Amino acid sequence: MTAHVRNAADAGASVLSVRNISKAFGGIKAVDDVSFDVNSGEILGLIGPNGSGKSTLFNCILGQLKPDQGEVRVNGQSVAGKRACDLNKLGVGRTFQMLQVFPQMTVLENIILAGQEHQGTMFTRLFGPSDAGLTEEAAKLIDFFRLGHLRDELAGSLSYGQQKLLDAAMAFMAGPSLVLLDEPAGGVNLTMLENLKERLVAFNRERGSTFVVIEHNMDFVMSLCTRILVLAGGRIIAEGTPAEIRSNPEVIEAYLGG
Amino acid sequence: MNSRNLILVLVGIAALIAAPLGQGNYVIYVLCSWLIFSIAAMGLNLTLGYAGQVSLAQAAFMGIGAYTTALLTMAGVHWIFAAPAAMVLCFVIGLVLGYPALRVQHHFLAFVTLAFSTLTFLVLRNEEWLTGGSLGLVGIMRPKFLGFDTMPQLHFYYFTLAVFVLVALLFWGLVHSPWGRAFKALRENPIRANSLGVDIRRMTLLAFAIGSALGGLAGALAAPLVQFIDPPAFSLMHSLKILLMVVVGGSGYFFGPILGAGLVIVMPEFLRFTEGYYLMIYAAMVLVLMIVCPTGLIGLGRKFASQFKGRSVRGDLKEGAKL
Amino acid sequence: MNRRHVFALAASALLLSVSAPAFAQETVKIANISELSGPGATSGVNWRDGAAMAIEEINAGGGILGKQVQLSQYDSQSDAQTSRAMVQKAIDEGAFALLGTVYSGSTIVNMLVAQQAGIPQMTGSEAPKITQLGNPYIFRTSFGAQKSMPKIAAYLQDEMKVTKVAVAWVNTEFGKGGHDAFVAEMKERGIEIVADVPSENAQADFAADVVKLKGSGAEAIFVYLTEEESARFLREARKQGISVPLVGETTLIGQKVIDLAGEASNGALGHVSLTPDAPVPAVQEMAKKFEEKYKYRADHNAIKGYIGAYAIKYATEAVGELDSQKVAEKLHGLTLKAAENPGILIDISWDETGEVSRESYLVEVKDGKQTVKATLPAN
Amino acid sequence: MTEFLQVVLSGLATGSIYALAAIGFTLLWQASQTINFAQGEFVMLPAFFVLIGMHVLGMPLIAAMIFALILSLILLGVIFKKFVIEPMLPHGTLPIVMATIALGILMKETVKEFYSAEAQPYPSLVADRTLDFFGAAVSTQDILNLVVSMLVVVALQFFLSGTRTGRSMQATAQNPQVAEILGVNIKRMVLYTFLINAALAAVASFLISPIYLAKFSNGEPIGLVAFIAAIVGGFNQIRGALVGGLLIGVVDNLAAIYVSAQYRAAVPLILLIVIILVRPQGLLGKAEGRAV
């Protein structure tokens, strides 16, 4: 069984380490020598104006782009050359900017799918139980995200906000040590947003999960994250708690001055 | 499976058992072809409907299965060993063919299988020492099982039916296993599936190889049914025919290909009165179906059913303003 | 394993399961199974129309043994497996005798079913193998390649004094049968095959084939292609200036080929048994009537279908009762003279294997017309 | 050497016609992600329009060709786009694949049933003469084919990169969203693509039928070759389709002589597979971003 509750002794250890990452596209440096660490249990916000290199950095971390130099390690292992599924097996969960659920499968099936590849072997997945022994655990997670009443509905028939919750829940199913959330607030209305934030915070507290969040919505980031990195022109220009960032003149300059 | 569905399935099987009774050899022959093509179409449905890959070589795999079975049984090997050998061969060829094609790009499997289909035809025709060339192989024996001789047409039908039911059950198990869930996921959203740990390349490859192996099994049944095989019976045109079965019936639905195979095989019977025009009418009907309802007949049926029942209440509306 | 042995075993086993068709009937049911759709449609439709015209004439003249004939049509879709199913269907529906199919690949398969049921079958196929399998129910309407090739070979050797020959053939069951029979005949006579060039079905570009043949040093080229391929081949041969004689079967010098190839067909030689242009008044008359009725020109398949239908009539009347078994027995060793049996058009005999013998002609295309160069006796 | 020259020249003449069909194929793919399995039948059909014009309506050859061209533009261009492809576009590639397969069968069977099941002689635009080219025989029809198809390709290339409409079409093919933002009328550009494809098919038909003869079943081999040529050359490049077409024409003939006549049809297919493995974007194609 996958342990959702991480060992308390791990708290504070580096889950993600980014070292001197640079990436240029045709002479323009999208990411320029960026380094930072994310410790266990943290919710790290990654913000910056459009074109500041957030997405490029994100893709480098996820192994989708090969950085020109530098290295990304998750739990001490390099992500270089890893496919998305390998990275997931390494303990990295993620969501996408655009909503990504499986509309023709039920909520329960969506969640089971998100966990099943971490259970047993190819062989047991073919000849073992059809839910890979995950129904109970999946139901718990669904309840946690307050989708219990929709368990057997097709994911495609859910409202946008509910799908967004499901989307996030899937990223957590396999008990990842690190979850990367790409603009989780995008397109979500205010009430839904509160709900989503509240659940994410609760999850972080109860299970000690580590998040990295890219987000434009300042209020959302400020109230969710424990630490924030500000990216501008491919470099980290500020780092600190939400309160520090809010009052940092360089950040204000980057956003307003451009 | 709920009890109502279970009853429907049992009734279906009973109908299949009763179907050939009192019928002439020809009708039984048509029923046999239907079951055999259903197996091939089910295999293709796994590739196409579940894993979302177009294969244009299903008939070629049938051919490989048929020739393997024919050659082995004619050399004295019992069908019960020859057919699995044919399936394994098709599975392995599927892996060898699919691995490089899927490494490259999504729709390239269609192109590779298209080429493979014609290459298979050429090899079957040209390698006369093995395959009998364009004149084919004659005199394929029907198997005997512990005193049950499948030589009479009716016996052969029950033999085919038994294999069909077994395959359908295994197939049902497969698509309802975690593998099946992964297949569906990679059809609906491969990128998301990949990020959730589904090795899309491996699963797609497996879906294609298993689908091809089922094509091989269909061939292993077709050879003793017709007792004769020649290369044109497994040409590209027939691959397209099987593709048609899957799409017309409804790809991605369990019963879609079975329905589709029935239609494609039985349709010429109904359109016979139109003489030479039947292919034309047939093509026109497929064209219209694709324009009106690309999800095939089962999709069309569901469309009607849901309009009839009134639109089902959306889950979120039921729960009102909870969110 | 001995194929014939396997086959006999299969036949006897299936015989038990097939119920014999009923014989007490008001009409005589004859089934035609031919290529009504698919790539063989031209041949199959010709065959069907020829047969249908004959049956109409037979019915107008009082039918068979005073009973009207009901001709039902089955489409093999030019596919061997379908043809087998259709023969099965025809027999299930009580056919007394069968006509078809034209494709040799189909006939080889579906004749097993007719054999199991004991129903005589008149085929339009010419592959040698058909009459070599020991099937007592299969009968040709035109002789197979193993009868025609010796005639051509003899002409090549004795009249044209050829010692080196090249072969161009289409690599299908049709072409393969002819090719093998021709090559065997050449070997026997010690004529050297200097080039052996197979082409694809419906091939359009014969440049490479002709290049190969041209450089082979052959003194004559034997061309065994379908009509359209022949036309394309003849044009390419003319373009590249092939000067040695081109010799073939009906498919090289038929009117259809002449129409398509135009001037390029002049000088081509062909061995012909049944064509609308055969120098036999009965055949020409039949062809004329056919063209008036169906608005297109009969080919050899139409004439074969016509003769096939009449052969069933004459054989049945010779037996004197509607008994499929006895008709089949009667046909073996039967000779029908056109003088007494006008529907047969040209004198014909069947041997013990169902193979036929008949006089034939060697024809040359001159100024876009077939002209008979020699009459080749029955063999 | 003469042998080699003869085969190469004949291959080029046939290949130039394959190229026309292959170019249309690529254009449709670019503009609407349509894999047109009826492309071969698109090349088969216009010749019959000409025959109808001449033999049924009694037109002279040139008038019949214009009549056929117009009919092709309407049926294979406008009608095909509006009533077949457009309704299916939202449902992805597969229904289009099935529908075009069915359309191909429909066209083939219609010609067979309503015109003729047999091959028809088809008039050439030039008097049939054979010229000697360093020992190789070249017919006037061969020369016409090469010249006309090259002219068509050059004109098309000029139109696409040299005119405003052409550039808009290319922008639409590369990125419809961006093109729309730039004010390009996407629907119209896609329609133009379908019209160009229909015109290319008609020209290919006029050129190939004097050699192939007009027959309902001609589409199948042409369609397959166009398909292979497009992929081998590069699915996203006109020049690629041209090179692919010529290459397949020559390779097919060379294979028949120097490899094996029995396996001549295998050689282009093996070439196809090798290209897919080694250079999936095609010989001249540009690599597309990898879809993960």
* Minimal Cβ distance to C14: which of B135, B151, B272: B151
Q: CB neighbours (10 Å) of residue B173?
A: 14
Q: CB neighbours (10 Å) of residue D273?
A: 18
D272:B111 CB<8 A: yes
What are the chain C neighbours of D127 within 8 Å (beta carbons)?
A: none
Q: Residues A13-257: name the CATH superfamily.
A: P-loop containing nucleotide triphosphate hydrolases (3.40.50.300)
Residue ranges of domains in chain B: 29-239
In the numeric block, which tokens belong to residue B248?
């017309």
Is C16 among the domain residues?
yes
Tens digits of per-residue pLDDT, A141-194?
Answer: 999 888 999 999 999 999 888 898 899 999 999 888 899 998 888 778 888 888
User: For position A213, what pLDDT does the model report?
Assistant: 92
Q: CB neighbours (10 Å) of residue B113?
A: 26
Strand pairing partners for C363? C270, C372
Tens digits of per-residue pLDDT, B176-200?
Answer: 999 999 999 988 888 899 999 999 8
- C258 and C322 assigned to the same domain: no
- C367 and C230 assigned to the same domain: yes
Kindly report the CA angle at C183 between C177 and C189, in degrees rounded to 5? 140
Hey, is the C-beta of D25 within 8 angstroms of any chain B C-beta? no
From C216, C339, C345, select the one nearest C274 (Cα to Cα). Answer: C345
Tens digits of per-residue pLDDT, D155-164?
Answer: 999 999 899 9
pLDDT tops 80 at residue B284: yes
User: For position B162, what pLDDT does the model report?
Assistant: 97
- C72 and C99 assigned to the same domain: yes
Tokens 């490899």 locate to: D259
User: For position B116, what pLDDT does the model report?
Assistant: 95
D214 secondary structure, DSSP code = B
Tokens 């022949």 locate to: C230
Establish whether chain D is in contact with chain B, requiring a minimum of 3 CB pairs below 8 angstroms.
yes
Tokens 């135009």 locate to: C262
Give the integer Cα–Cα distance in Å for A34 and A21: 5
pLDDT tops 90 at residue C310: yes
pLDDT band at B275 (very low <50, low <70, confident <90, very high): low
pLDDT tops 50 at residue B317: no
D80 secondary structure, DSSP code = I
Residue ranges of domains in chain A: 13-257
- C267 and C285 assigned to the same domain: no
What are the chain A neighbours of B323 within 8 Å (beta carbons)?
A: 159, 161-162, 191-192, 195
Ordered alpha helix ranges (H), chain A: 54-61, 84-89, 107-116, 122-127, 135-144, 160-173, 190-207, 218-224, 242-246, 249-252
Hey, is the C-beta of C208 within 8 angstroms of any chain D C-beta? yes
* Minimal Cβ distance to B135: which of C41, C93, C129: C129
Hey, is the C-beta of D41 within 8 angstroms of any chain C C-beta? no
* Minimal Cβ distance to C42: which of D117, D139, D218: D117
Hey, is the C-beta of B96 within 8 angstroms of any chain D C-beta? no
C128 secondary structure, DSSP code = G
From D67, D79, D21, select the one nearest D201 (Cα to Cα). Answer: D21
The boundaries of the domain holding residue D156 are 2-128+136-278
Average pLDDT in the C269-295 region?
89
Is D202 among the domain residues?
yes
Q: What is the mean pLDDT of chain A?
A: 86
- C255 and C109 assigned to the same domain: no
Percent residues over pLDDT 70 in chain D? 98
C220 secondary structure, DSSP code = E
Strand pairing partners for A34? A21
Find which of B176, B192, B198, B202 to mutate to test the A interface (most A CBs within 10 Å of its CB). Answer: B192
- C226 and C314 assigned to the same domain: no
pLDDT tops 50 at residue C3: no
Q: Which of A26-35, C262-271, D58-67 has the lowest mean pLDDT?
A: A26-35
The answer to whether the bond into C101 is cis (omega within 30° of 0) is yes
**Cα of D245 to nearest chain B Cα, Å:** 16
Is C163 among the domain residues?
yes
From B36, B51, B129, B32, select the one nearest B94 (Cα to Cα). Answer: B51
Neighbours, chain D (3 or more CB pairs < 8 A): B, C
Is D287 among the domain residues?
no
- C198 and C284 assigned to the same domain: no
Give the integer Cα–Cα distance in Å for C166 and C170: 14
Tens digits of per-residue pLDDT, C320-349?
Answer: 999 999 999 999 999 999 999 999 999 999
Average pLDDT in the C81-94 region?
91
Hey, is the C-beta of A82 within 8 angstroms of any chain B C-beta? no
D261:C209 CB<8 A: yes
For residue C59, the surrounding DSSP H or E stretch is helix C41-60
The boundaries of the domain holding residue C82 are 3-143+280-346
- C159 and C123 assigned to the same domain: no
Give the integer Cα–Cα distance in Å for B33 and B156: 11
Average pLDDT in the C358-377 region?
90
What are the chain C neighbours of B157 within 8 Å (beta carbons)?
A: none
